[in-house]
Amino acid sequence: MNNLIIFKINKSYERCFLAFFLLMNGLTQSQALEKKSGKTGTVGELLKKIETKSVKINKQDNKLPEFSKIGTSKTLNLKDVKPPSKSNMYYEEGSNEAELEKVTDQQIRQAYKLTQQFKNSRRRGELWLRLAELYVEKSRMIEYRLQNEYDVKLKKFQSGESKLKPRLNLQDSQSYNQKAIQLYEAFLNDFPNDPKGDQALFFLGYNYFELNNEAKGKSFYELLTQKFPNSPFVDESRFALGEYYFDQEKWGDAVGYYQKVAANKEARLYSFGLYKTAWCEYKLGKVKEGLKYLERVIRVGRIAKSKSNEASGGVSHIRLASEALKDLVVFYAEVGSPESAQSYFQKVAGEKNVLNLTEKLAYYYADSGNKTGAKILFKELVERNPNSPKAYDYQYQIVNMYAATGDAKVFKDELYQWITLYGPESKWAQVNSKNKDLINKANLLIESTLRNYVLQQHQTAQNSHTEFAQKLALAGYELYFNTFKDSVKLDEMHFFFAELLFDLQNYERAAYHYMWVNEHAPKSKYNEKSLLNAVLSLEKKLPHVDEIRKEVGDTTEPVEFDKIIKSFEKAAKAYLQAFPNHENSVAINYRLGSLYYYYNQFDKALVIFEEVYTKHPKSQFAEFAANLTLDIYNIRKDYVGLEKAGQKILVQPELAHSGVGNQIKNILQRASFKKAQDLETGKNYLKSAEAYESFSRSQSQSELTETAMFNAGVNYERGGDLNKALEMYVALQSAKSSKNANLKKNASKFIAILYEKTGQYAHAAQAFENYAHQNEKDKESVNFYFNAGVIYDGLNQYQKALNCYQRYFDLSRNKDRNEALFLMAKVWEKKKSPRQSLEFYQKYFSANPKNGSSLIETALAIAKLFEAKGQKKLADEWYQKTISIQQRISKPEAPIGVANAAHAKFRLVYKTFEELKSIRIPAQPQKQAKVVQQKLAFLDRLKNELARVIKYDDGDQIVASLTLIGQAYQHMAASIYAVPLPKNLDAEGLKTYQKGVEDIAKPFQAEAIKNYQTAIEKGRQLEAYNDWFRMAQRELSVLNSSTNYDNGEKIFLTRMPDWLGI
Amino acid sequence: MLRFVLNSFAFLISLGLTMGIYAAKGEAESSESVSVKMEIDSNDLKALSEARASQSEEALLKVVRKILSVDEKNLIALNTLAMFYYEQNKYGLSQIILNRALQFYPDSPALHNNMALVLLGMDKQRQALPLFHKALELKGDHKVSAVNLGSLFLQYRDYDHSLEYLKVGYKGFQTELKSGSVGALEATNNYAVALTALGRFNEARDVFQDLVKVNGKNPNILLNFAILLIEKMKNYKEGKKIIAKLKFSEDDSGIQRKIEQLEAKMSGVEN
């Protein structure tokens, strides 16, 4: 019976509670009444047995009441109070509430049935009351349920979960109130003097209030008070009125009613009345008075508890007392002092509640802004038990309070205390270490508080830029890091610390903290920014290019990074690895690459630059990277690499068509050329030539092409490949450009020379001639006519030779130009043109050449030519000239023209021989002697003259001279023998005559033989084998048959060349 | 600068003295002398032989150009080129080339021999003879110049003088004689003739017999042998065989005349 339903003290629930309470009370009243009457087995009894919460239904047999007929009611139409034919269940099937509702419905149906059955009974009123109670209960159930649903929908609406604003529609529940009202009114009507009239009046008041008809409800409550002043329902109604005014916030009106209820210690609602009075006083600003009422409530509760007496069927004094205890804090906070709080609580609430209440009061103070009070109480709480699990929170409250107030000093001190006393390393933490949840929670709170504080300081520092603020912020971060080594927010803190340091231009330290994030919390949301900012921080510390240059100097060897740059490198690499495609990556990558470049770490630089210009050709860094790439290769003098790199760069259309692309093309050109030049400088001629050649082929439009061709030729020559050199010069010569005329001219010259060197004499001659022809004004080139002439001469191309010699002679200012005349004369001889030959020999002779040998030879040649022409006189003159010139210009120590002079002399002497031969010995004996003497004189003369020829000591002329002498002697002998025999001689005389002739002739013959022999000997000795030698042999063999040199054998005149194995 | 030298000997322009120093634009530096390579590639060697054998100037120039382009002093190339032109009676050019070669290889017996031949071609026997001697001075067993010189002396019936040179040639060509080389045949024939003239008949006979084994058809050799056998050794029997062979195969009037003389001699004796 005394089932209590626990609920919140809530206006909307109050009435339900009250109604139910009253219902229960009503039921209790019935029970009391029943006890008074001593009757059992009544409807009331029956009804009493219905448990409010019981699931089991023990249905007993209905007993009909005794009644007498007094006639039917005049005021109640039972149909109006008929329960719905189909009652809606408002609770879920299967639930306790549903079972209760079912039971209630069942009871209603039963009760209604009874009212119908006993509609005329005198006791029908009780049935009406019972039915009305059931309707009220049903109404309450429905209202409770609807209220709940409304609250849920409202919450959803407020949270945005639902867009539909709910409305509380209590029509369903109110319909039951209506029925109850009809029943109650009917009861009063029909039974105006019934002792249960107070019940009816009360419930009418209640129901009208339920129907929001406060005026009517109030009137019924007042009527109750008037008609039944001693009714237990009077306190109920007063309380209800008090509630009515309380809800209206008419505290003054409400307090009166409550006080009336509170005046009756026996009243069921006595404690409640005190409680509500306390609150009215509070509302009226009379907190002290209110506090007193609360104290009374507490005392009542304490007493009730001590008596183990819970208010039966109504609000529990103990419960109210506990509510009053809770409210005590609120009241005390208004009027009490924090210093006395504990003692007060101890007095009023007892020791066991002191801590709780003090804590509540402390929190209350904190919430309401009473920092001082809160601080005092929290400090007391801490002092009470410094290692209490809540101690950290107490201190936190203090910290929190001062956080918002702007009293920075106090806040800092409290914060610091909080951290040191309750931080992860604190004694408190150790003591409470087993309570892991507590420690975690505490740490989290401390950490978040400190963190927020530090970040706030940071913001302040950033905004104010004052040193003081900055120092505070720095100190805060350091404290944080010293305190929390494992916090999940470390990444954030390191990041922001780094940000602060960055602002303070402490870049190195900032970078350290940025990098901490990356190294320890790579998944942190700050990682990307940290990496980037680490790079930016360290970038600030990087040395300037000028400093780097000074440090590195002229060396091209790699120089190691210093600490800062290494750090930058590390940060950059980390960033690039994590965010290879980020918009900043290119710039960072390039920066790193440029550092490698400046420190001569070229291999690394190249890798990066290549990445930049191949993957990001549109970026501004692509051009820079391209430029530096080429520079590296240039520094290394790696022109092969430079060319390759250049080609690779130009593959990128953006770069190829850009300004840098043109520069690169130019550079490549020049690099290619330079490569060749460097090879040349290094005396690697062949490679240089190849490089020049390659350049000229690949860069055919370049202004350096022809120079490259020329240089290729030169270097091929130097490298020993004349063929290739020739090729290049020929190509240059064929080039259409009119520039580089000088190079082409030189090329033409070299072509001629190279033709000659490579054995292509015909081409050489042509080339010499062409060069000379194209450069006739060139002093040197005239000589090329001469060269051409010589070669043409050797090739038996006589006319061309003559032309060239002539041009040379005409154009040359050399002292030896006349030699050309001599050569031309020779050529004419070969051409078998004696006239022209003679002409040029004469020209040459007339030019008075310095060449003595040629001069002598010329004179002899002229003599021979004249002789061949039959111009003997001129021939003799020239033979004589030959001899004279030779005599004049030849020196004993350096004889010249000896053979020619000897030849000339011999030819002149030969005349003597001819003259000798021309003298015939006549047949007349008398004349013979004289003629013989003449002949002998010629012979002598011939011998003397030939002796002078022999004096020249020329082998050929010696043999010739000796042979001629032999011939002369032989002629003498023959001439003698040829003399006709005298006619008148007899045989004896003839014989004698013949012997006499023989005696004369034989010595000549012998001399002839002797001279012939000598000629042959000399010929052999001097190896002067000539026609005279043969003649001597021949004549000798005629004169002396034993000296036959020729037996008729066939001799092979071998002219065997030595081909050296070919 | 291009330098050329007027050689009083034959107004030769020594173009081989062009040690070119050419100014390359931009980075002019004087060149160093080109290295001399003596070796010749076996393929080039073969090509030279084939070109010479084919008498194709174009083919020869192609190979020579190739060789001289990397070794402008290459002895074999220069010599081959010179003697190619010699065979074409372009004595002037041959002389130019040989002179060029001689500047680099003054002690080459081959070059002196070949230059002597060129001079002989220019009817300058007087200047040629010292060169043959020079060749033999440089290499005592230089068979080619020995044969050339010996045959020249032989031509003038200077048997004594020729014999020592012909002997060198004979010895030098013995191996080639077996393969029937024309030059070897000629050299050996001349040697035998010299031996004959100097009365060393048996030696001469032996040589002629070797000759006839190698080439029993050469009429000049046969005739010379016959002369030895018949006129000198009075070996008519052998002589007749040779005569018979000659009469059968040879139409030359000079040879026929001599044959008649030999036959007359034999018959006169017999008679």
Side-chain-side CA neighbours of A328 within 13 Å: the count stands at 30
Instruction: Give mean pLDDT, residues B111-117.
Output: 97
Question: pLDDT for A146-190, tens place per residue?
Answer: 889 999 999 999 999 999 999 988 888 888 998 898 889 888 888
The model's confidence at residue A308, banded by pLDDT at 50, 70 and 90, is low
| pLDDT tens string A378-423 | 999 999 899 999 888 888 888 888 877 767 788 888 888 888 888 8
Confidence band of B28 (pLDDT split at 50, 70, 90): very low
- A1054 vs B190: CB contact, 8 Å cut-off? yes
Cβ–Cβ contacts within 10 Å for residue A86, how many? Answer: 6
Average of per-residue pLDDT values in chain A: 86
Give dist(CA A855, CA B259) in Å, integer: 52
Which pLDDT does position A673 carry in this prediction?
Answer: 82
Beta bridge partners of B6: B13
State whether the Cα torsion A161-A166-A168-A173 is positive or negative. Answer: negative
Q: Mark which residues 127-156 of B lie under 8 Å from A by CB.
A: 129, 142, 144-145, 147-148, 151-156
| Cβ–Cβ gap A1053/B35 under 8 Å | no
Spatial separation of the C-alpha atoms in residues B228 and B264, rounded to whole Å:
15
Residues 6+ apart with CB under 8 A from A925: A982
Listed in sequence order, the residues at least 6 apart from B110 whose beta carbon sits closer than 8 Å to its beta carbon are: A1058, A1059, A1060, B79, B135, B142, B144
Coil/strand/helix, residue B12: strand
CB atoms within 10 A of CB A353: 17
Measured from the Cβ of residue A1026, the count of other Cβ atoms closer than 10 Å reads: 18
Beta bridge partners of residue B12, listed in sequence order = B7
pLDDT of A847: 92
Q: What is the pLDDT of residue A27?
A: 38
Among A618-627, A731-740, B42-51, the range scoring the smallest mean pLDDT is: A731-740
- What is d(CA B213, CA B180) in angstroms, rounded to the nearest whole number? 10
Q: State whether B155 and A1053 contact (CB < 8 Å).
A: yes
Share of chain B above pLDDT 90, in %: 59
Considering only the beta carbons, identify the residue of A750, A786, A1051 that sits closest to B193. A1051
- Mean pLDDT value of segment A707-735: 91
β partners of residue B7: B12
How many angstroms separate the CA atoms of A315 and A312, rounded?
8
Q: How confident is the model at residue A866 (pLDDT cuts 50, 70, 90)?
A: very high
Tokens read off for A852 = 């003595």
State mean pLDDT over B199-210: 94
Tokens for B59, please give them: 């083919």
Give the integer Cα–Cα distance in Å for A1008 and A293.
Answer: 192
pLDDT of residue B39: 66
Q: Percentage of chain A with pLDDT > 90?
A: 45
For residue A338, name the pLDDT band (cuts at 50, 70, 90): very high
Which among A74-83, A445-454, A831-840 has the top mean pLDDT? A831-840
Does pLDDT of A366 surpass 50?
yes
Mean local confidence (pLDDT), A242-266:
90
Name the band, by pLDDT with cuts 50, 70 and 90, for residue B271. low
- Distance of alpha carbon A185 from alpha carbon A539, whole angstroms: 94
**Alpha-carbon gap, residue A859 to A910, rounded angstroms:** 18
Which B-chain residues 98-127 have CB contacts (< 8 A) with chain A?
109-110, 113-114, 117, 120-121, 125-126
Backbone angles phi, psi at A260, to 5 degrees: -65, -40
Question: What pLDDT digit, counting tens, does each position of A18-52 carry?
Answer: 444 444 444 334 433 333 334 444 444 544 444 34
Q: How many residues does chain A have?
A: 1062
Q: Which residue has the higher pLDDT, B29 or B250?
A: B250
Q: Which one-letter amino acid corresponds to residue A517?
A: V
3-state secondary structure of A894: strand
Q: Report which listed range, A103-117, A737-751, A783-797, A921-935, is most confident.
A: A783-797
Least confident of A635-644, A931-940, B174-183: A635-644
Return the pLDDT at A38: 41
Q: Which two tokens stand for residue A880?
A: 């004589």
| pLDDT, average across residues A710-727 | 91
Is a pLDDT exceeding 60 seen at residue A72? no
Give the pLDDT band of residue A444 (cuts 50, 70, 90): confident
In order of their start, the domains of chain B are 1-13+45-139 (1.25.40.10)
- What are A529-557's pLDDT values in tens digits? 898 899 999 999 999 999 999 999 999 99
Q: What is the pLDDT of residue B270?
A: 64
The pLDDT assigned to A408 comes to 76
**Are B15 and A743 within 8 A, CB to CB?**
no
Place of tokens 């004052």: A466
Quick: pLDDT tens for A661-689. 887 778 777 777 887 888 899 999 999 99
What phi, psi does A1013 have (nearest 5°)? -60, -45
Q: pLDDT category, A87, cuts 50, 70, 90? A: low
Residues 6+ apart with CB under 8 A from A920: A931, A975
Decide if pLDDT at A16 tops 50: no
pLDDT of residue A397: 86
Distance CA(A697)–CA(A730), nearest Å, equals: 14
Using DSSP bridges, classify how beta strands B12-13 and B6-7 pair: parallel, antiparallel or unpaired. Answer: antiparallel
pLDDT at A319: 85
Torsion sign (Cα): A32, A33, A35, A41: negative
Among B18, B77, B148, the residue with its CB nearest the CB of A1054 is B148
**Which of A723, A756, A1054 is opposite residue B69, by nearest beta carbon?**
A723
